[in-house]
Structure 1
């Protein structure tokens, strides 16, 4: 069961239900980290056994979603070191907010991806956040703020006329930032494999850019075998629980609670 991180109310509903089931059926329960679930989703095997997946540790993992954006060094399963993370908005949250500014609704990421196709990525000049090479953290609030102020006085008709260009510009800036920081950390930590997961990885352009980056670095990149496994799913939590159970046993059903800021 997921203990955190995340929204407290949602975590409480899920964890309390899982605890009730564990008590009712006298089954062990394992409280796991949601981000660990995303990282381990690439280890899930399909019906053919996913034989091509042979990660060599250390692995550098990028998990990017609506609520979390982290770059994590995996020395092994269960041995994680966060080496970079967003200081404010997550990447997916920034995409959602840009979609709202353009009147595209929620969730914004998939809509931005579709609208951005064929758009001019250089239409708007947006800042490059945290440009210092020694800073491995990420920040997306400045992109959102710059985007807002550049279009806040535009009429609806003007926004609609340039909708594809606006979406493409913002999406490209978000992906530039992710790719640049991931590349810097690869050079610093010299992993032997790469992985990427999370809801924003459902975006075909981001997957393509990360594959190109991996080729330039001469490293294998592993992604979940299905796009459905990028978004939140029970299977990734079950896998994280399986590994935790094997390493340290079950959690104490009477002594676990939610942790909205649960760290790896």
Structure 2
């Protein structure tokens, strides 16, 4: 396996005042905090789009060398981590560890807010967003509140129409750098979000989440009147037309 490492600049970090054992480093872009500067450095790449480790097989870039190693197994078909319970094999040891929780009933990822626990960190992350938190930053225009001043700054642009982030490829502009970063994947063909179950890759997180429902069987979009449920909101919208008699105009 050949690894090509692009040049990358050391990102700026902002240490916050906190106890010695809980020193935190905050991302200037989104306010997310980390207890190690190396973790912040890796996170910053999610905003900048920087992926210094490149796959020689397909050209896909990664933020971490271990992610590249795991990705290379898609090309080789190697799945060295095998579950002794059911025989299912995985490319990464972390995937196997999380999978084992479905057999042993362990739910080691606990929500500090309500005490509910989960088998894997991604499910916990999605759950944590459901909790309401203090929102001290209020928009004078519409009254909407936010947890961080940076979120409010981004929101205010929806009123002012300011779109300071421009795509050099097509000239399209965006109110947030993250939106520009996501948009540029259309031009580059980059698909950094990979399904752990089948290896399929997607350009956007939302597309991966929707795809994962095919594996989990989750159907969160339900019509109360008939009980029919769907994996996508658009599928529910189409279904509603069968009840209303509305036909889509082509």
Superposition TM-score tier, normalisation by shorter sequence? under 0.3
Higher relative contact order (CA 8 A, sep 6+): 1
Decide which structure has greater helix share. Answer: 1
Structure of higher CA gyration radius: 2
